[in-house]
Structure 1
Amino acid sequence: MTQESILTVNAGSSSIKFELFELGETMHRGLSGKLDRIEQEGTRLTFSDYEHAESQTVDCQASDHFSAVDFLIDWFESKEILAGVTAVGHRIVHATQLAQPEIVTPALLDELYRDSQFAPQHLINELVIVEACQRSMPNVPQVLCFDSSFHHTMPRVASTLPIPRRYEAKGLKRYGYHGLSYTYLMQELQRLGDPAASEGRVILAHLGNGASMAAVRDGKCIDTSMGFTPAAGLPMGSRSGDLDPGVFSYLSRREGLKSDEFFDMANHESGLLGMSETSSDMRDLLAIESNDVRAAEAIDVFCYQAKKMIGAYAAALGGLDTLVFSGGIGEHSPEVRARICASLEFLGIELNDKRNADNDPVVSPMVSRVNVRVIPTDEELVIAQSVSETVAKLDRSFDQHSPNVSATSATNQGTQS
């Protein structure tokens, strides 16, 4: 008998990650993988089979997300991965109104295509994958989990953009992203028994190729660094972070830069890559900073802006109880954590050098005003949990109103209409 499972799909601008969670008494991973370098040379699929403790890499040709998705679906089918899938969960970067996971309907897809103007680098690619999964698995519910939902609790003072009010009615405000990661980090703080998870002041720092921070008070987000788009806030791997709008005006007049060209520059040629002129990867820059002033300055700017953000959010929270580092840089770079936290003792932030060097779960001293933690994030687990809960709610709803109709078949009728 085929093992029932939930498939999660997490699409980025140049990659597609997936996980297969097998269902039983507990939910556990059976398979994970990533198709990366889409639209670049050397596109490849790397996957790990946990049951057989093996990893493999497969080369593929994928000129765009359409061909990448086709390749991935064909690979799923060749491995008979889809046979036991009872539901699919998708990370969706943005939804202007939706705060909870939703099962796909034609009306929902239409709404999200309209919203794609808010996150054009991500949303279209994500919807391409949703529709491909629908075609391949027409009898399986597709559940969308929204990265911006975590930030719906932000007060208006934090979400309002200081531009003419008439644009707010058109959907222009600060939305925030990395919400699935932040959801997981708050769940982990709760599991670890950190009282700040429900009744304290927390700064969450998701530092990776995409980087952001969130300020959380009493379990609710009150501010976050990313804004109207994921390009705002901290400098990132190839994104600029916050920019003076005069930069665009100047480059438009002096360089003839068009709006689309400026957008591409701010998202794909800036941040660590733009400043270093070498790499968007913090590991590469740390390896050469002693001999390359550009790499050293890029690291300094990144750490300086992160330090400033912690100070700003401590002010917004009225103090700080817990600081959490996560993401590829936050989890694995003691040097960057140390530079960000340096001179923040006045906020109660201190690091224990040995614990920090060892990437321990707690990197602050045993006795410290602020608990500084390192928590590996797990967006895929949050998606799988959300899918399970959403489908279960639908099952209960149909049990109450139509005992002879299953949730899956009812959902399929909706998606196929």
Structure 2
Amino acid sequence: MKILVINSGSSSLKYQVFDMPNENPICTGLVDRIGLDTGSVSHKVFKDGAQQTFSIQMPIPDHEVGLQQVTSLLVDVEKGVLETLDEVKAIGHRVVHGGEEFASTTVIDAQVKDKIKELFALAPLHNPPNYTGIEVAEKVFPNATQVAVFDTAFHQSMPPVAYRYAIPKELYEEKGVRAYGFHGSSHQYVSKKASEYLKEKSSKLIVVHLGNGSSITAIKDGKSIDHSMGLGPMGGLVMGTRAGDIDPSIIFHLINERGYSAKEVNDLLNKKSGLLGLCGYSDMRDVKQAIESGDSDATLAYEIYAYRIKKYIGSYVAVLNGLDALIFTAGIGENDAEMREAACKDLSYLGITLDSDKNKLRSNAIREVQAADSPVKILVIPTNEELEIGQQTYELVNT
């Protein structure tokens, strides 16, 4: 059964085509730097044991343009893997926010779409492009079953002490105001791979997912028990354009004393803050280039980014009452050795000591980067949200 997985992030769109139950994709791709001055498409095809890679540089103003380019590539005579789009029997969509209504993978219908739209305000950078992906896919693949895999589902195991806020309880009971958690497909996939690698069913893990959006999860025995993001995917770690944790007094100061509207503050914290607000660059690759040229704002942004990670590691070691493995994943987590080193610096009291030489080695496999005498393992595990989404989609439509 051919299954297409669409993973729309805030500034990127990843896709894979699987011939399930085979877990090896027949095609993968990345539409990157959406909304920036220069965009790119990297499209890889796997045939007869060989890999072909095609790269396209083009303006990609929004996710709809990116998806249209993807579908063209899939049926291209030279670059494609499908004779017709009807070969795709199901499409698994990553959807960031599912509220409390969706605790599992769900076939998409009109009611599900309406709920995804209702949650736009809680995930303004993600649910709209997720919804766009669904709308475009319905037009292009009218005979395929559309399936939603929600980021929030994995975190439904968090206990009330972790997901409730210290606000009047009717806001939770009547309005659903609570912490939901995000990047669930990534945290679930990586934690499963870690448990398999460690050969331990019972384990205490901290997964650090670092990309344009970043989050960190405390995982005990395979279940999420605390997570850095909350009602929406804005809190916690510093991100590309999102502020992460912030004193709520700042919001009221901006509105009451500085004349900002609520919408302007929301846009400020979601789209103009984080790395972008600190130094003018939202992409970590651009931040590092600026550091190399002597940009002091970029240096400070990098240090703040790492400092926030360290604070969460310390708090989650306390929540777990110990730690078996600290795991880095996603684009920055997997590829930025300097960030891993900065985030682990001076954590030896917690049993976390990095080996600088091991940390600099690159590999697509799971690798250990801790020092020989480190009680806690430090792992770099490539995430594969698309495979997790594909497997969940296949299980749902194949039952």
When normalised by structure 2's length, the TM-score is 0.90
Q: Secondary structure at the match of 1:320?
A: coil
1:285 corresponds in structure 2 to 287
Find out whether 1:135 has 2:131 as its counterpart: no
Task: Provide the identity percentage.
Answer: 35
1:47 maps to a residue whose letter is H
Determine which of 327, 332, 338 is the counterpart of 1:329.
Answer: 332
Indicate conservation of the 8 Å contact 1:14/1:38, yes or no. yes
Q: Is it true that 1:10 corresponds to 2:12 in the alignment? A: no
Find the residue that maps to 2:198 and give its secondary structure: coil
2: CA distance between counterparts of 1:101 and 1:221?
A: 17
- Corresponding residue number in structure 2 for 1:162: 166
Structure 1, residues 287-338: CA drift from partner, whole Å, max 9, x if none?
4436222112111111111111100000111111111011222111222111
Deviates more, 1:99-108 or 1:236-245: 99-108
Give the superposed CA RMSD: 2.1
Give the alignment partner of residue 38 of structure 2, picking from 37, 42, 58.
42
Shift of 1:81: 5.4
SS in 1 for 2:89: strand
Counterparts in 2 of 1:353 and 1:71: CA distance versus 1, 3 Å: closer
Q: 1:357/1:43 Cα in 2 relative to 1: closer, same or farther (>3 Å)?
A: closer
Shift of 1:75: 4.9
Q: Does 1:373 align with 2:379?
A: yes
Which residue of the partner structure matches residue 173 of structure 1? 178
Aligned counterparts of 2:340 and 2:146: Cα–Cα separation in 1: 38
Larger mean CA deviation between 61-70 and 27-36 belongs to 61-70
Instruction: Indicate if the aligned counterparts of 1:349 and 1:369 stay in contact, CA closer than 8 A.
Output: yes
> 1:188 Cα deviation (Å)?
0.7
Contact residue 359 and residue 374 of structure 1 kept, 8 A: no
Match of 2:392 among 383, 386, 389: 386
Contact 1:210 1:236 survives alignment (8 Å):
yes
Separation of aligned partners in 2, 1:365 and 1:45: 38
5+ residue gaps, structure 1, are: 394-417
CA distance in 2, matches of 1:204, 1:118: 23
**Cα 1:143–1:294, aligned 2, differ >3 Å: closer, same or farther?**
same
CA distance in 2, matches of 1:112, 1:281: 27
Aligned pair partner of 2:368 in 356, 362, 367 = 362
Question: Is the deviation greater in 158-167 or in 45-54?
Answer: 45-54
State the Cα deviation string for residues 252-298 of structure 1 (Å, max 9, x = none): 23432212211111122211221123x22333333443622211211
Q: Quick check: 1:301 aligned with 2:311?
A: no
Aligned residue runs from structure 1 range 114-263, under 5 A: 114-168=118-172, 169-195=174-200, 198-263=201-266
Measured in 2, the distance between the counterparts of 1:293 and 1:352 equals: 27
Which secondary structure state, in structure 2, belongs to the residue aligned with residue 192 of structure 1?
helix
Within 5 A, what are the aligned runs for 1:52-91? 53-58=51-56, 63-76=61-74, 79=80, 80=83, 82-91=85-94
DSSP-derived class of the 1:163 partner: coil
Supply the distance in 2 between the matched residues of 1:351 and 1:65 (Cα, whole angstroms). Answer: 38
Counterpart contact for 2:23–2:387, Cα < 8 Å: no
Encode CA deviations 1:139-198: one digit per residue, 9 max, x unaligned. 221111111111100000110122222221211111110110011111211321342xx3
335, 348, 354: which one pairs with 2:351?
348
Give, in whole Å, the separation in 1 of the partners of 2:105 and 2:331: 26
Contact kept in structure 1, 2:38 and 2:60, CA below 8 Å: no
More divergent stretch after superposition (337-346 vs 54-63) = 54-63
- Aligned partners of 1:364 and 1:372 also within 8 Å: yes
- Tell me by how many angstroms 1:368 deviates: 2.9
* Alpha-carbon distance in 2 for matches of 1:87, 1:107: 19
One-letter amino acid of the counterpart of residue 12, structure 2: S
Q: 1:40 to 1:294 in 2, by over 3 A?
A: closer
Return the alpha-carbon distance in structure 2 between the equivalents of residues 81 and 206 of structure 1. Answer: 36
Contact 2:328/2:379 (<8 A) preserved? yes
3-state SS in 1 of match to 2:398: helix
Is residue 20–residue 394 contact of structure 2 (8 Å, CA) maintained in 1?
Answer: no
Pair 1:29-2:25 in alignment: yes
The residue identity in structure 2 corresponding to 1:293 is: S
**1:345-377, Cα deviation, whole Å (9 max, x unpaired):** 111111122111214600113443111111111
Q: Is residue 122–residue 233 contact of structure 2 (8 Å, CA) maintained in 1?
A: no
**Shift in Å at residue 77 of structure 1?**
5.0
Matched to 2:285, the amino acid is R
Looking at structure 1, the residues matched to 338 and 39 of structure 2 have their Cα atoms a distance apart, in angstroms, of 31
The number of residue pairs the alignment matches comes to: 386
Q: CA deviation at 1:390?
A: 0.9
Quote the Cα distance in structure 2 between the aligned partners of 1:313 and 1:65.
35
Give the secondary structure class of the aligned counterpart of 2:116. helix
Q: Give the whole-Å Cα distance in 2 for the aligned partners of 1:74 and 1:82.
A: 10
Distance 1:343 1:81, change over 3 A: farther
TM score, norm. by length of structure 1:
0.86
Q: Secondary structure at the match of 1:222?
A: strand
**What is the identity, as a one-letter code, of the residue corresponding to 1:55?**
T
